[in-house]
Amino acid sequence: MRSGMYRVKHRFSLKRTERERLGMGKYNLQRILYVFSSLNDLGRVITSNGSVDDITKSALYLILGTISSSEGAVFHYEPSSCAMENIVRKGLDGTTPLSFTLSDGDLNELLLASQVFETGSGQEPLQGFTPLQREVRTLGDGMVGISNIRPSEKLDHAERGVTGFTFRHREHLKAVKAALAAPLRVGDKLVGLLTVGKRFSGGEYGGEDREILSMMSQQLSVVMYNQQLFSRLQRKVEENRKLYENLKQIYHDTIQAFAVAIDAKDDYTQGHSARVAQYAMAIGQELGLPGDELEGLRFAGLLHDIGKITVDSSIIRKKSSLNEQEIMQIHRHPSVGYDILSHIKFPWGDLSKLALHHHEKVDGHGYPDGIEGKDLVLGVRIITLADSFDAMTSDRPYRKQISLGETIEEIRRCMGTHFDVEVCRALFRVLEKELTGEIADPKVIPCLNRLFDTPYVLQVLKAADGPCEAARHPV
């Protein structure tokens, strides 16, 4: 009887053990599937297109949910200031600033520590070490360098956690309610620190929890490391951009100075190059040229007369007719300008050709080469008209300026012989838009002496193309 009762109890005990084993196995399987799902979700989060702050926040929330905690924080390590700065937190006071500075000892400990360590109770950092270890660890500030620690010491340090760091920063760790911490590292680079609070249940974290936290923190480390590299790259790009802008401004100022020096040879032509640059840009913009070509037109306008620096000032200022030798010297200035500018590599193309040909005419009767319109690039045709327009609307030693209406009529007469038809029409459209207020930032009208009748000028602008005559005003 007793033997039979024993066999029944034994079978029942076996069945119960079997049931418990099967139940535990089912639980473990569910746990494994949940962890894999969480790792997959974390992978999607860190490879998303969101901002780094959003990605880090989502990653922290996912990590805490996976290990069943409601409190945690992520710190970013800034090497230049040795500061740990809190960037994301959950379940903590959001108003309290959380940051602290690492010593060399702290940095070495975090680089040597196991992937996940307990924050401990804030005990003295040398408690529990052998006399030999204690002597080694008191050399220098905190922990010594990695290369100076023997393998046995590394193992002991990894097993024990980071007692020096946790003691020195016990108040900071207490502020984030840290139960576990994971240094965020990539190779031998520290990029931050992850801390997590106690579990929902209040129970202890097991080895499986540490493994999960270790895997997830490594993925977070890569994200933060890549962000650090990207931030440094952005800073370098910004520094280079500022350097480029400074050099560009110096370059522009130098060209402006050249233009002022050119125009200074004659009181009548002061500001001529700057106005030609303005007019050329306005025409180019009306023709739909891109920004880099417009900038090229601007500087071509500023430098188109640079060859005049070799022309005697008395010739430029002469009020009477020029003799043959003086005319030859004037006609030589485009070639001299070309010789000067051809040695400079401009970022906007070959501006020297624009200086060489700005006195050419579309019918081939200009100078110095007598090139016809079909062989003249658009930039030359624009500069030619802008130069002539300013010459007509400005006082010169040999004559007074003519009115805006007369200037337009003169240009109309010379369309197709002196000037390109489409370029002229573009100038006329600019003038009409500026006179009617259609252009908010006018470039031509503000440069003119306002001795004109606006209704009459608008009437002239609306007139169709007319026959061309030879220009009566030398440019």
Model pLDDT for residues 75-97, shown as the tens digit of each residue? 999 988 999 999 888 888 766 66
Mean pLDDT of 152-178: 70
Q: What does the block give as tokens for 130?
A: 């052998």
Mean pLDDT of 376-386: 96
Least confident segment among 147-161, 176-190, 212-226: 147-161
pLDDT number for residue 420:
95
Give residue 472's pLDDT band: very low, low, confident or very high (50, 70, 90). very low
Unique residue bearing structure tokens 């609306």 = 462
Least confident segment among 142-151, 162-171, 329-338, 417-426: 142-151
| CATH code at 264-462 | 1.10.3210.10
Please check whether residue 106 is in contact with residue 142, taking contact to mean a CB–CB distance below 8 angstroms.
Answer: yes
Give residue 228's pLDDT band: very low, low, confident or very high (50, 70, 90). confident
Give residue 47's pLDDT band: very low, low, confident or very high (50, 70, 90). low
In the predicted structure, residue 298 carries a pLDDT above the cut 70: yes
Rounded (10°) angle between helices 378-392 and 404-413: 140
Unique residue bearing structure tokens 């400079």 = 344
Enclosing H/E stretch for 356: helix 351-356
Comparing C-alpha atoms, which of 104, 94, 116, 240 is closest to residue 183?
116
Fold assignment, 51-233: Beta-Lactamase (3.30.450)
Unique residue bearing structure tokens 């946790």 = 166
pLDDT number for residue 73:
92
What is the chain's Cα-based Rg?
41
Mean pLDDT of 257-281: 83
In the predicted structure, residue 274 carries a pLDDT above the cut 80: yes
Mean pLDDT of 266-291: 90
395 or 370: whose pLDDT is higher?
Answer: 370
Q: What does the block give as tokens for 287?
A: 């023709």
Q: What does the block give as tokens for 215?
A: 């895997």
In the predicted structure, residue 23 carries a pLDDT above the cut 80: no
> What is the widest separation between alpha-carbon atoms in the chain?
147
Distance in angstroms between the alpha carbons of the first and the last residue of the chain: 133
Enclosing H/E stretch for 84: strand 83-90
Comparing C-alpha atoms, which of 119, 115, 56, 43 is closest to residue 87?
56
In the predicted structure, residue 359 carries a pLDDT above the cut 60: yes
Task: Spell out the domain ranges in the chain.
Answer: 51-233, 264-462
18 or 415: whose pLDDT is higher?
Answer: 415
In the predicted structure, residue 12 carries a pLDDT above the cut 50: no
